[in-house]
Chain A
């Protein structure tokens, strides 16, 4: 090996060792488990595809997968749009205050998950702050279903948790587009909004895609938020996986569900990247 290759290998070593030992290896174990057979609440290393058959054909799990992808897609899309405009404003419109506004993004991550999830729990629910406030002001007479625990509550809370994860890559991508390029577009007849769509968005699209993908993956794997805000009905696939590894005592099925989720995400996001790359060209 050439000396600079050796240096590069050494530089890569900590991350590679960490990920192969603590992520790659467990993932392989998980994949192996997904082909095991369950007998009397225990599993034996006997090859079977039954777990995947259940994971892919069961009406119940399909409902969970579809709900999960719907919740994650909506959350990630809302975050991408909100994060784009937030980054736009702090990069261009309020340029003078951008350090402070960027700091606010980081501050919003300080709160800690538990404090925030219990805050959201007190807001949503039949007797939650949202419903009681609206009822006491007379705007509504009965508690709104929308503000009870369920999909809407999960989405709103997850937008709160993951918005910083969306802002960071978009903000970083926008630093490559100078205010002068926006002025150039305006000079050529674009409105501010037109310039944002035709110049800033394509140039920051990589960042927007990364923001969408990060938040999509993170929310699709969520189980605590839906457990605490989803009520009895609107659980996500993460809850089913957690159940199979816990009270359900069916690790092979849980593993098959987890592997299926990883594969579905990989296929969907691969397709997204391909489309985006085509579109930019």
Chain B
């Protein structure tokens, strides 16, 4: 029962969206296209405008400027109850006076779907999300995880053109959250419905999404696959927000015919955009850095200040000429005790370009 799109148009298009609350801008000139059947996440810190953007897609907020298209149709001014999208609320917002079955059937009943069809679709959806056994319980007699699944079923049973999810897992404990992440992803793949998922949890976004849009301060900073976002962040904020980062400045010089960054007398790789004679900001992820015995050529040199055992990894803090760096190594590697001198190096493709350093 996959939701086959009516058209070859994108599921959702936002064009030049502006939204302010009084004097405070919430969303600034946002353009975004979400493809049919895509799992798209809007990721950013609280107050970045991601929830406002989602609520504009749902029809609870209306943009001051710009337009919203759903399956190619302009819905900018269409209110929530006449938009063919459904929202899974952060606090679920189930109707406490109704049974699970009546909660899930609510949208179909409002749209005057025949009784028999409602029953079939509700039962099928309750099985899909795994709460078939609780169909006749009242909504306020369910655990948090069960309520989450009912909220999902209540939205999906309407076969929306797109399902919008507003931090739906944030109220669950870690273990349940991890399980629901995988389940949500597999339900999305099975149904083929377009999902737009708002979260501030970068791991969650990386794990579940086909593509991620990173927002900060009302702006959409970068849109890309998890690999692109993590590996080649387009913006210092993106680089810093998604994953951990060792960022530092190097002097760009020609060393032996190659353009290199020079740190502590040793040449290191710099992005091709770097020009000689300038100071450049680069960054390397902790797990892309290698740590080894002191004295290695073309490497940074430093001293271990801290060694933490994290189960699957070893995490070092190393004092170097560019400041303290965090380096992660496999737990099977040789452990280097605090105080020992080490070399740190990385592959050329591990370098993230943060642009010319501002003096």
Contact across chains for B106 and A185 when beta carbons are under 8 A apart = yes
Q: Which of A181, A198, A203 contacts B93 (CB 8 A)?
A: A181
Interface status of A186 (Cβ within 8 A of chain B): yes
Contact across chains for B58 and A187 when beta carbons are under 8 A apart = yes
Given contacts A188-B154, A188-B158, A189-B110, contact A183 B97 (CB under 8 A): no
What chain A residues lie within 8 Å of B155 (beta carbons)?
187-188
Contact across chains for B111 and A180 when beta carbons are under 8 A apart = no
| Distance (whole angstroms) from the CB of A93 to the closest CB of chain B | 14
Complex CA–CA separation, A184 to B58 (angstroms) = 11
What chain B residues lie within 8 Å of A26 (beta carbons)?
none
Interface status of A130 (Cβ within 8 A of chain B): no
What chain B residues lie within 8 Å of A181 (beta carbons)?
93, 95
Complex CA–CA separation, A189 to B81 (angstroms) = 4
| Distance (whole angstroms) from the CB of B56 to the closest CB of chain A | 13
Complex CA–CA separation, A191 to B79 (angstroms) = 9
Chain A residue with the shortest CB-CB distance to B85: A187
Q: Which of B96, B97, B111 contacts A189 (CB 8 A)?
A: B111
Interface residue ranges of A77-92 to B (CB < 8 Å): none
Interface status of A128 (Cβ within 8 A of chain B): no
Contact across chains for A187 and B95 when beta carbons are under 8 A apart = no
Complex CA–CA separation, A237 to B82 (angstroms) = 52
Most buried by A among B86, B94, B110, B111: B110
| Distance (whole angstroms) from the CB of A196 to the closest CB of chain B | 13
Complex CA–CA separation, A82 to B213 (angstroms) = 47
User: Considering only CB atoms and an 8 Å cut-off, how many residues of chain B contact the other chain?
Assistant: 22
Interface residue ranges of A200-245 to B (CB < 8 Å): 202-203
Q: Which of B86, B94, B96, B97 contacts A187 (CB 8 A)?
A: B86
Complex CA–CA separation, A20 to B155 (angstroms) = 55
A-B contact count (CB 8 A): 57
Interface status of B309 (Cβ within 8 A of chain A): no
Q: Which of A180, A187, A198 contacts B81 (CB 8 A)?
A: A187
Given contacts A187-B80, A189-B81, contact A203 B97 (CB under 8 A): yes
Given contacts A199-B95, A202-B97, A203-B96, contact A188 B110 (CB under 8 A): yes
Interface residue ranges of B244-281 to A (CB < 8 Å): none
| Distance (whole angstroms) from the CB of A7 to the closest CB of chain B | 30
Q: Which of A178, A190, A280 contacts B110 (CB 8 A)?
A: A190
Contact across chains for B110 and A184 when beta carbons are under 8 A apart = no
Q: A-facing mask of B75-87, CB < 8 A → 1, else 0?
A: 0000111100011
Interface residue ranges of A129-159 to B (CB < 8 Å): none
Contact across chains for B91 and A180 when beta carbons are under 8 A apart = yes
Contact across chains for A180 and B93 when beta carbons are under 8 A apart = yes
Contact across chains for B97 and A184 when beta carbons are under 8 A apart = no
24 A-B pairs within 8 Å (CB atoms) are namely A178-B93, A180-B91, A180-B93, A181-B93, A183-B60, A184-B89, A184-B95, A184-B154, A185-B106, A186-B81, A187-B60, A187-B80, A187-B87, A188-B107, A189-B107, A189-B110, A189-B111, A189-B158, A190-B110, A191-B81, A199-B95, A202-B97, A203-B96, A280-B97
- Give 18 A-B pairs besides A183-B93, A187-B155, A189-B107 with Cβ atoms closer than 8 angstroms: A183-B80, A183-B89, A184-B89, A184-B93, A184-B94, A184-B95, A184-B154, A185-B95, A185-B106, A186-B79, A186-B80, A187-B58, A187-B81, A187-B86, A187-B87, A188-B86, A189-B110, A190-B81
